[in-house]
Amino acid sequence: MTPSTAPDKAAVKAYLLDLQDRICQALAAEDGASGFIEDSWQRAEGGGGRSRVLADGQVIEKGGVNFSHVYGTQMPASATAHRPELAGRAFEAMGVSLVIHPGNPYVPTSHANVRFFIAEKEGAAPVWWFGGGYDLTPYYGNEADVIHWHQSAKNACDPLGEHLYPKFKKWCDDYFYLKHRGEARGVGGLFFDDYNAESFAHSFALMRAVGDSYVPAYLPIVQARKHTPYGERERQFQLYRRGRYVEFNLVYDRGTLFGLQTGGRTESILMSLPPLVRWEYDWQPEAGSPEAELYEKFLPQRDWLK
């Protein structure tokens, strides 16, 4: 049942634009190079956005932080696949999505997204929900980093309900899973969708808590690992593992499908892809190696806070 509190679309949009600004400022300051370039775009069917990309930085090899606000008269198939009752409704969707691919293989890739959907039809109450989360994709695992990441996620959720972190953590583990590989994309974090519990104020507060906690969750990991020495072996393994990231985004990711199905800007939709990547036929890590440790210790699902 949809809560009765009327959604404030203007407040959500203002928050998302400010969140994009704050995240870009924090990441650019940490990188210390030229910063993000901005590219504003318009969608013919309604709406648009602003994409910000940082490339070839001192820390970030490629990073994108995208805001979009699109609308139309028909819900796209990716949005109605699990909510067929919404077919035929007009929709608005707005969100901030980001992916950061660092250059140093000891610094994990990170992804975050917060979004709001509303589907409306004359004579009927609007149906709205929030979604989002973030996940971490290390190449060389570090237990302290992963614990910090998950503790940050739990701290964000707990004030709004102590049941939320375990639920969203499991949802993230299940979602960011490459079924054709039989392995997780990374070490997880948070994922939620179709969230409209209690009231608009509560649901909006949850989205803000997740969005606001991304920088404190990620930057300490970047700062701790960005000066770690590495060689060609580590770089080649990083490029190989980036292939898993590409496979997930192009095969399973709902946001990618939604963007393509709504006629979004292709460059912005695919900004999450890494700048360099490699695939190797039937590659296996050497037993007892740091590369094998990723598969054996970090990718299997576990409770990192016990």
The tokens of 112 are what? 């975050």
Say if CB 67 and CB 17 are below 8 A apart.
Answer: yes
Say if CB 26 and CB 59 are below 8 A apart.
Answer: no
**Is 114 labeled as ligand-binding?**
yes
**Is 97 labeled as ligand-binding?**
yes
**Is 115 labeled as ligand-binding?**
yes
Determine the Cα–Cα distance for residues 261 and 142; give it in Å rounded to an integer.
Answer: 38
Determine the Cα–Cα distance for residues 13 and 17; give it in Å rounded to an integer.
Answer: 6
Contacts of 133 (CB under 8 A, 6+ apart): 112, 113, 168, 171, 172, 189, 190, 191, 192, 210
Total length of the chain: 306
**Is 235 labeled as ligand-binding?**
no
**Is 104 labeled as ligand-binding?**
no
3-state helix, strand, coil in the chain (%, to 5): 40, 25, 35
**Is 101 labeled as ligand-binding?**
yes
**Is 263 labeled as ligand-binding?**
yes
Determine the Cα–Cα distance for residues 41 and 157; give it in Å rounded to an integer.
Answer: 33
- Residue 158: name the closest of 26, 11, 305, 8 by CA: 305
With both helix axes pointing from N to C terminus, report the angle between 200-225 and 9-31 in degrees, rounded to the nearest 10.
10
**Is 180 labeled as ligand-binding?**
yes
Catalytic site positions = 111
Q: Which residue numbers belong to the known binding site?
A: 97, 101, 111, 113-115, 150, 180, 263-265
Q: Which residue numbers belong to the known binding site for substrate?
A: 97, 113-115, 263-265
Q: Which residue numbers belong to the known binding site for a divalent metal cation?
A: 101, 111, 150, 180
